[in-house]
Amino acid sequence: MLTPEYLYRITEGAEDIASQLHKNIIDKIIARMMARIGRGEDYLLTATDKWQIETLQEAGYFLEDIQKELSDKTKKQVQEIKEAMEEAGVTALQWDDKIYQAAGLSPIPLLQSPALMRIMQRNYEATAGEWKNFTRTTANEAQRLFINQMDNAYNMVVSGAVSYTEAVRDVLKEVSDAGLKVNYPSGYKMSIESATMMILRTGISQAAGDISIERMKEMDWDIILVSYHLGARIGDGGQNPGNHSWWQGKFYSRTGKDKRFPPFSETGYGTITGLCGANCRHSFGAGDGENNPFEQYDTEENRKVYEKQQRQRALERRVRDTKRKIQNMQTAIDNCKDEKLKFELQQEFDRKSYLLKKQNAAYKQYCEENNLKPYNERLQVAKWNREQAMKATGAARRYQNAKGE
């Protein structure tokens, strides 16, 4: 059995790699854009066919850069997934094996069991394969974003719809807002960091679950205990697998033969919305049918905590988003050759830094008012180091002074 805290922590390494990938690719897009559109208005006022040819040539070089970046990060990510899976499998069985040993049984270690290792390998390959699948489209998506925004800037300036500086600011905003997204067949889009966390957390949960089930079969064990945590998702509130608060923290019969407990199938294990489904932080293991360490809370308290935590996650996403936009603006400033444009970009940098200061304060206040633990690690983005933080703090102070506050 794995705790919710463990399932959060175990994905940190993979999320860091995805965040670095995101940052590096957006940096490359902005740097290449500014190398062409950051030279001044006169540079954009050229023949349409010449502009398009040069843009496509640049896009070809850009695609090669992105493919190299993806290749490097994929190697690291696949290794990270493998190590996380193995660690989670060993950790999950520590709970189960104590139950078996108390009953006089002698389970063999995970790494010495060919059957359990095959399950581990199967889940590892599926999870690593899913990462590779959605990163295959990332290079093309990034190239398309580069071409579209280059054309947007050109068309806005040539048509006279907006000024040169407004056009550059607009396309920079479009790139920052778009970011790197994973596009699912359903049309749903998710950041590459969030998608990485979801597939790894889900893959680890399912691997640990499948291993626990196989171990129970080896031990001829029927009773299962499902973990419990406050803030579990409530779905539609009904008695169904999508309402995790309904089935959590209980004993179940794996086969459905022990009528003292409900059948394990009630949890929806193996489905996308049920136990160990997409982004689920619940786990399960062998139970003795008597000792349940999970404290029971009423459903109303769970609902309140769930709503507070959802708001907390939204505030964390807002801070991360603003930090990325500040970083993107810094990349644009560093690669800008037009002094007037650089001045306006610096003002925008100052404004966003001031916004970040207010968002950080709002997050801290919300956590204090609602007795929630602040998670500073959830506010971090790749390459946001001490130097970057100090620069943003100074910019926020400069903006505040200019406003006379």
The conformation of residue 263, written as its DSSP 8-state character, comes to B
Task: Report yes or no: 35 and 335 within 8 Å, Cβ to Cβ.
Answer: yes
H-run or E-run covering 91: helix 48-102
pLDDT of residue 296: 65
- The answer for residues whose C-beta is within 8 angstroms of residue 46's C-beta and 6 or more apart is none
* Phi, psi torsion values for 263, nearest 5 degrees: -70, 145
pLDDT at residue 366, as a whole number: 96
Confidence at residue 297, expressed as pLDDT on a 0 to 100 scale: 61
Task: Supply the pLDDT for residue 399.
Answer: 92
Q: Are 91 and 167 in contact (CB under 8 A)?
A: no
How many other CB atoms are found less than 10 A from the CB of residue 243? 20
Distances (CA, A) of 35 to 127, 271, 334: 38, 48, 10
Please return the burial class of 233, using the count of CB atoms within 10 Å of its CB with bins 0-12, 13-18 and 19+: middle
Q: Is 252 left (phi over 0), alpha (psi -120 to 50) or beta?
A: beta
pTM for the predicted model, two decimal places:
0.82
Identify which of 180, 177, 174 has the alpha carbon closest to the alpha carbon of residue 155. 174
- Asked if 306 and 234 touch (Cβ cutoff 8 Å), the reply is yes
Domain ranges, ordered by start, for the chain? 4-221, 300-403
First to last CA, the chain: 53
The structure tokens listed for 358 are 């207010």
Q: Residue 183 corresponds to which amino acid?
A: N
Average pLDDT per run of 10 along the chain, which is 405 residues long? Answer: 82 87 90 85 76 83 85 87 88 90 92 90 90 81 88 87 88 88 80 87 91 93 92 87 92 94 94 90 92 73 84 94 94 91 93 96 96 89 90 94 80
Q: Which residues pair with 253 in a beta bridge?
A: 223, 263
Contact 393, 356 (CB under 8 A): no
- Residue 180 burial (CB count, 10 A): 21
CB atoms within 10 A of CB 385: 10
pLDDT at 45: 66
User: What pLDDT score does 298 carry?
Assistant: 63
Both tokens of 9, joined, read 């922590």
> How confident is the model at residue 62, as a pLDDT?
83
Q: Are strands 181-183 and 189-191 parallel, antiparallel or unpaired?
A: antiparallel
